[in-house]
């Protein structure tokens, strides 16, 4: 019962922060609301018993990626974006039926999926060894190839970011504006 109350608190916090992400106009306020939402989602993970994922959510998302966004916000001139309005009003209104349709679709998929979900077979294993050990052992045995592929994807993304953000030597001089 206490877990349910804590879960509801974190859920309300996450949803309010999400509303803040899509309504505020200043990008600095938006990154603060996004940080709040990430911390609330980490709380949901802790409540669900996924300590490793919650800790990595706090470490990677709420620290590293958020700081990266703040760094990029210092590099782009966001005064112009504030001055000319930061929302598409018409598209925002038109997107609401689309999102409601998306909700209905997801509800159908979830309800059909829950009725067909099998019983857990790792439950006793988790209660015996603890969450982090089980996640690590299965990650490094059954999903080891996917883990290596993800590391390769991270390496390629890093190289791509360096190549894209590199300062070209006057190549696009006539092409700007």
Q: How near is the Cβ of 125 to other proteins at its closest, in Å?
A: 9
Q: Give me the long-range contacts of 10-18 (CB less than 8 A, separation at least 24).
A: 10/40, 10/41, 10/43, 10/44, 10/47, 11/40, 11/44, 13/40, 13/43, 14/40, 14/41, 14/44
CA distance 9 to 157: 36
Q: How near is the Cβ of 67 to other proteins at its closest, in Å?
A: 11
Q: How near is the Cβ of 98 to other proteins at its closest, in Å?
A: 8
CA distance 29 to 22: 11
Q: How near is the Cβ of 114 to other proteins at its closest, in Å?
A: 6
């Amino acid at each position: 019962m206490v877990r349910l109350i804590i879960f509801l608190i974190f859920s309300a916090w996450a949803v309010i922060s999400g509303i803040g992400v899509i309504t505020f106009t200043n990008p600095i306020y938006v990154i603060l609301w996004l940080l709040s939402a990430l911390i609330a989602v980490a709380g949901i993970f802790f409540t669900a018993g996924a300590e490793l994922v919650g800790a990595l959510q706090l470490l990677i998302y709420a620290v590293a990626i958020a700081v990266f966004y703040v760094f990029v916000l210092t590099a782009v001139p966001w005064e112009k974006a504030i001055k000319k309005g930061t929302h598409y009003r018409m598209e925002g209104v038109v997107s609401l039926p689309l999102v409601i349709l998306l909700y209905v679709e997801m509800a159908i998929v979830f309800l059909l999926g829950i009725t067909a979900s099998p019983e857990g077979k790792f439950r006793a294993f988790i209660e015996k060894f603890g969450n982090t050990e089980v996640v690590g052992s299965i990650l490094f045995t059954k999903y080891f190839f996917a883990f290596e592929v993800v590391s390769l994807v991270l390496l390629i993304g890093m190289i791509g970011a360096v190549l894209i953000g590199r300062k070209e030597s006057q190549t696009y001089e006539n092409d700007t504006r």
